[in-house]
Structure 1
Amino acid sequence: MQEAAMRGLQLLSLVLLALAFVLPAHAQDRPVSFADLAERVSPAVVNITTSTTVAAQLDPNMPRLPEGAPFEDFFNDFFNRDGHGRPRPRQSAALGSGFVISADGFIVTNNHVVEGADEIEVEFFSGERLPAELIGTDPATDIALLKVEATDLAFVPFGDSETARVGDWVLAVGNPLGQGFSVSAGIISARGRALQGNYDDFIQTDAAINRGNSGGPLFNMEGEVIGVNTAILSPNGGSIGIGFAMSSRVVERVVYQLREFGETRRGWLGVRIQDVTADVADALGLPEVRGALVTEVMEGPSRDAGVLSGDVILSFDGAQVTDTRDLVRRVAEAGVGREVDVLVFRDGSNVDLKVTLGLRDEVRLASAGGRAQPARPEAPAQILGLELVALTDQMRTEMGLDAGVNGLVVRSVEPGSDAETKGLRPGDIITEAGQEAVATPADLQAQLDAAREAGRRTLLLMVRSNGDPRFVALSID
């Protein structure tokens, strides 16, 4: 018995000894120190200082002295005015971060770091300072490209942000709050974050990022840049462990175009789109809730290719389309002048099209106008919780509509109705129902009856709000 107990103790000792060797090996996934990595990448990180001349405004309540009065010079100096009593312009300074991407002096930073700057100065890890030239900016992704006159600079490469995983270690280097060349470490806490832009693809990290870190690099453990630190989420302006870096997948393409053309050149499909919801999919007879629903086809690539309002774009350039954000990003990255395959869902079946992409023009795509208030003609109709009247010539004139525009004007919306829940408001114009044009309340009622006879639970309406079209699926149960 005692011999068996001894053998048991010996076996337990062997197991514990094996664990003692195994656990440290497993723990090696967590770096003991970031010192070697920080030492290797820091020479390529820069502090950026910008100077902007701000025109001063004359305060009408400030006292003034007549020209030639005694103590005029002293008075002007005291109130920071020039010799003619006008307020002197003042200099505004801002701080940010950046990183060198080539030995000949190309530097990446954020657009908001250098926007409107009269002078840009770059400070290197060695303490050397050089003036920088602005090569180009892309406000849509908040990326800017600078250039300094230098050779043999230390630089860092871009890494593949697509292979980065939630939980991976990352290192942020920058100029937080003016404390230059500061290093912070953390992990990737989320990927694919969108804040406000159409092209957003942010990496979320808990590495400390503060004001002044903007434009600085987010490194993986190989010393590659997988993101550009851009924004933080904070109730007090300081880091609370929720920072965002624009992914290198986006930044690399933007930087290439800024370097080659001084501007970004994104592909343009020439359509307005909205996400497909469950009720919209039901109204269209779409088997799955995905894709991008076309609300308007503009003069350009899509119209030439035969895309129609009401089509659902299911596939673009050989890849499935998840939603509108996915499509916008794919089109922008596809390039200008390329012919791409587009698969759309139309009238219950799939249709293959080929579209030659144009050049996106942000100014051309700007939305117009405020909401117009319609006139109040007689005999409105009550349908689906909406009080509707047909457009008249007088109403077209008052609302600034073309003579050929037909439809139903929403005069009022029943409180608590599905129409109110879906965002319909007085002044909206319904131009289609069930993907058929409607000009009178009787047209809408006919489409409503047809949808009920077909066993549909929803009726798809084309609604124009503030001049912008969108599809709304209203319940008809």
Structure 2
Amino acid sequence: MTRTFTSIILLFTVLNSGAQTFADLIEKVNKSVVTIQVLEMENMGIGNPDGFTANEGMGSGILVGEKQLYILTAAHVVSDASQIQVVFYDGAKTGATIRRIDQTSDVALLQLNKVATNYPPAQIGDSDAMRIGEDIFIIGNPLGLERSVSKGIISGKHIEKDEINNNRLQEFFQTDASINKGNSGGPMFNMQGEVIGIVSSILSFSGGFEGLGFAATSSIAEEILQQPGRIWFGTRVLALPPQLCQIFHIPQEGALMVQAVVENSPAYFMGLKGGYVKMNIGNMEIMAGGDIILQFDDIQLNTAENILKFYDYLNTMKSGQNYTIKILRAGQIKHLSWRMQ
């Protein structure tokens, strides 16, 4: 009886010690997690080029890099943001700008306006070493509840090819750890406290979490964001097929219609204009009235092949180099110049 009682006490002590260890781990890595607040300006689409409405959004992110100057987050959290503010665990705030972005993998790298000397950068783990069934945890701001922790496992690992980006592989972890609006961009940690994923999205029929969450793997995030290019241009565009080019009297069989231009982006300072009239053509909703991009430097955007070449070209842009865009605006051909910062 005494031996059994002693074993129960030891088991309870081990379990309690393990729980405390996880709590200590949370406390340690939590100082690297940030809240991201964004302001987006959206045209209402009722025919007024200046008819914008302001929308606020929130996501999560993680401080990375020895320079204590960069934040990893999800691309969809910041891609349309005219203003980005990063909030640290103690409430301190600073602005940030987009340094690198990849919409397909849904990852972005932000550069802070000042060095975050008071906060420890997170350690990046080896996502390739993670196996299905291993424990993970997530920290973020679901539904505005700051620094909430959810725990789960790696439910699956999905690898797919992206034809738009030269069949480059895309990798996502599937997890049953709870993910909701506001978690996007937050870190997925292994049980050593290393970042092995960036929270991206959920698959849901109800709009709420149903046990199917996804995160871009850290290996893919590192690969993409260390490449030259992957710049943020600050536009949403629609590729126009020959039929729509005829409807809009465009003097070539393909082009890019600018749907929106993000305030304070390179496209904004270049002078590109977004659409301001919502239209429905078949099952497709478009924002008309903005610029039509016909050519970027020597690449005429008149075929699907050339548009793919243009996307590749964007990823080779060099700082200090000048670029020229040929556009159609209100029936007139214009040329806009831009110097890559």
| TM-score (ref. length: structure 2) | 0.59
Q: Does 1:54 align with 2:42?
A: yes
Name the counterpart of 1:192.
Answer: 158
Choose between structure 1 and 2 for higher RCO, CA contacts under 8 A separated by at least 6 residues: 2
**Residue identity matched to 2:223:** R
Distance 1:98 1:92 in 2: 20
Shift of 1:252: 1.5
1:263 pairs, out of 222, 227, 230, with 230
Q: Distance in 2 between matches of 1:248 and 1:32?
A: 26
Q: Does 1:42 align with 2:30?
A: yes
Q: Following the alignment from structure 2 to structure 1, what is the Cα–Cα distance between the partners of residues 39 and 79? A: 10
The equivalent residue for 1:268 is: none
Query: Aligned partners of 1:105 and 1:361: how far apart in 2?
Result: 36
Per-residue CA deviations over 1:164-222 (Å, capped at 9, x if unaligned) read 22222111001111222111111122223559785221111111111111111000111
Counterpart of 1:94 (choices 36, 57, 81) is 57
Q: Distance in 2 between matches of 1:195 and 1:244?
A: 17
Change (3 A) 1:231 1:179: same
Alpha-carbon shift at residue 86 of structure 1 (Å): 9.0
Instruction: Please give the per-residue CA displacement for 1:82-114, whole angstroms capped at 9, x wherever unaligned.
Output: xxx997421122211110002432001111111
Instruction: Report the 3-state secondary structure (helix = DSSP H, G, I; strand = E; otherwise coil) of the residue aligned with 2:19.
Output: coil
Question: In the alignment, does 2:176 pair up with 1:206?
Answer: yes
Q: 1:124 to 1:206 in 2, by over 3 A?
A: same
| Cα separation, 1, equivalents of 2:203 and 2:197 | 17
Partner of residue 248, structure 1:
218
Q: Structure 2 vs 1, CA of residues 140 and 45 (structure 1 numbering), >3 Å: closer, same or farther?
A: same
- Quote the offset at 1:31 in angstroms: 4.2
Deviation of 1:24 after TM superposition, in Å, equals: 3.8
Equivalent position SS for 1:201: strand
1:147-296 alignment to 2 at 5 Å?
Answer: 147-148=111-112, 149-152=114-117, 153-192=119-158, 194=160, 199-257=169-227, 261-263=228-230
1:177 is matched by which residue type in structure 2? L
Quote the offset at 1:55 in angstroms: 2.1
Paired residues of 1:159 and 1:225 also in contact (CA < 8 A): yes
Distance 1:86 1:134, change over 3 A: closer
Whether the 8 Å contact between 1:99 and 1:217 is mirrored in structure 2 is yes
Alignment CA distance shift 1:202-1:361 (3 Å): farther
Number of the residue aligned with 1:32: 19
CA contact (8 A) 2:68 2:120 kept: no
Distance 2:126 2:17 in 1: 21
> How has the CA–CA distance of structure 1 residues 251 and 28 changed in structure 2, closer, same or farther, with 3 Å as cutoff?
farther
Indicate if the aligned counterparts of 2:43 and 2:49 stay in contact, CA closer than 8 A.
no
SS at match of 1:132: strand
1:115 and 2:85 matched: no
Amino acid at match of 2:23: A
Q: Deviation of residue 237 (structure 1)?
A: 1.6
Distance (whole Å) between structure 2 residues aligned to residue 110 and residue 250 of structure 1 = 13
Post-superposition offset of 1:48: 0.8
Contact 2:161 2:169 in 1 (8 A): no
Are the counterparts in 2 of residues 215 and 229 from structure 1 also a CA contact under 8 Å? yes
Aligned position for 1:311:
none
Judge conservation of contact 2:135–2:153 (CA < 8 Å) in 1. yes
Aligned match of 1:364: 309
For the residue of structure 1 that corresponds to 2:200, the secondary structure is strand
CA distance in 1, matches of 2:204, 2:224: 27
How many aligned positions are there? 230
> Secondary structure of 1:192's match?
strand
Q: How far has the Cα of 1:124 moved from its partner?
A: 0.8
2:92 equivalent in structure 1: 128
Q: By how many angstroms is 1:21 displaced?
A: 7.3
- Name stretches of at least 5 consecutive residues in structure 2 with no aligned partner: 232-304, 312-341
Contact map agreement 1:57 1:87 (CA 8 A) in 2: no
Mapped partners of 2:115, 2:310: distance in 1: 40
More strand by share: 2
- The amino acid across from 1:224 in the alignment is E
Q: Specify the alignment match of 1:333 in structure 2.
A: none
Q: 2:217 and 2:74 mapped to 1: Cα distance? A: 13
Distance 1:229 1:86 in 2: 35
User: 2:138, 2:151 within 8 Å by CA — same for their partners in 1?
Assistant: yes
1:138 paired to 2:102: yes
Tell me the TM-score normalised to structure 1 length.
Answer: 0.43
Q: Identity over aligned residues, as a percent? A: 35
Residues in 1 aligned to 2:109 and 2:27: alpha-carbon distance in whole angstroms: 24
